[in-house]
Each structure stands twice: as structure tokens, then as C-alpha cells.
Amino acid sequence: MSKFAVILPAAGRSTRFRMQNRKKTFVELKGRPVWVRSAEHFANREDVSQTLVVVSPDDKDWFREKFRPHLAFMDVQIVEGGAERADSVQNALAQVKADTEFVAVHDAARPLLVKTWIDAIFQAATENGAAIPAVRVSSTLKRGESNNNTHTITETVPRENLWYAQTPQVFRRELLLEAYAKRGDFVPTDEASLVERLGHAVTLVEGSPMNLKITTQEDFRIAEALLDVLPKEKSLKNLHPFQDERLDFFS
């Protein structure tokens, strides 16, 4: 079995969203903090040997004390973040154990996951060295420009072959280390863009629109609703041969 480390960046400033006087990753989503809901999908997996959460230096002591039981129960390691997201991930990458084969980077503010989705990404990364979940763009895309708070369309962008990138993004450890070592002044918005710059192919795995990232309060309300309809793993009681398959999906 391949060994995976998981990095959860949670050091952002959350300038577009605060609730309960906290950053979005620390807010409770139906009774559990957002970052905990994100981390627990990986902490319970046999193939994950290390889980690292990256927080701002200003939050580090508070975070350790506030979430001490969660950190201990899930065996989560705290890493101090940097100025940019890429700096935070690079700090955590430096602490990934040398015998780890693959590294997954997952947004701490993306709590709506299902085991089978993670399985598919991990499997694709194992086979190809680099893989991310993504959703095909289905809406018409417009390029615009702004002038004195007035926005106008400058171009309709063809949506063929366009995808919305998601996380977890998973790579061979050596490949991700090389990508970060060669990033220079480039400021990536995700790890895949760094690996692409090396000329290494990144496999796209069909994702789910439910795997949303909480950025605004509207996103948070959507996440609250989606928690109740996420696909669940089939239990023995759902294996009756005459049961409606639609019920299996949501049971």
C-alpha cells in the first residue's frame, strides 16, 4: 500500500468571510469546525501516514489550545504558515517524512468529501504521478472589463475542455518537491500549476460540484445544506437486492 501525507492549508486571512468572529476554517459547520470536517476524511484512512494542518503564526498558539483534543485524536501536526498559500504548503512539504511516496494538498475550507472520491484521486495519482479532481465547465463563460464600477463583456470564452480545479491534489513527493524548488517568483493558485510548469502531465479525475470551497457566507449556507445529501458509503442494510438504487445513493 502506498503511503500518503496530507497537507491542509488553513493560514489564509479569510478576508471575504468571517462568522462567529472566526476565520472560515475555524467556524463550526453543524457542530464541528470546518477544518476538522476536512481533515477527518484523511485521518481515518489506512494509507495516510501523516496529516499536517498549516495555520497562521498569529493563530498557532490559540489553534493548538482550542483544538487540542481534535489534534490528538486525529494525530494532526501543526505547521506555521507563510506569506502566501504556496509558502504555507512549502513549509509543510518540508516536514513530510522521507518515506512518504505521495503528498495530497487539500483546502481546509473544502469539507464536503466522500471516501470514494478520495479513492479515485489517490488511485489516479498512484498510476500517473499527479492527479486532481475537477468539474467540467457547463455554463457560458464571459470575459469582462471594469470601468468606474461598471462591468461589460469583452469576449465570450469557449467552454470546451475547460474544468474547475478542486482538491485534494495529489502528487509523488519527489515531483512536488521539484515543482516547489523551481517555482522562483511564480505565485501559483494551486499545486497542479506548479507541476504543469515542469512539463509533467496532471491527470484530471471527474469531481463533484458538491466538493465546494467555502469562501463566502453564501458558500457556508450551501455547505450546510449539502452535508445532509452527500453520498454515503453503502452499509449492509443497503445491500438488499430489491432496494431502490436511488435510496442507496443518499442513504
CA distance 5 to 187: 23
CB-side neighbour CA atoms (13 Å) of 169: 21
What top-level class would CATH report for the domain 4-134+164-250?
A: alpha beta
Total Cβ atoms within 10 A of residue 222: 15
- The whole-model pTM stands at 0.89
Q: What pLDDT, in 10s, does the model give residues 76-126?
A: 999 999 999 999 999 999 999 999 999 999 999 999 999 999 999 999 999
Residue 234 pLDDT grade (very low, low, confident, very high; cuts 50, 70, 90): low
Domain spans, the chain: 4-134+164-250
> What tens digit of pLDDT does each residue of 188-218 get?
999 999 999 999 999 999 999 999 999 989 9
Contact present, 52 and 75 (Cβ < 8 Å): no
45 in Cβ contact with 51 (< 8 Å): no
SS3 131: strand
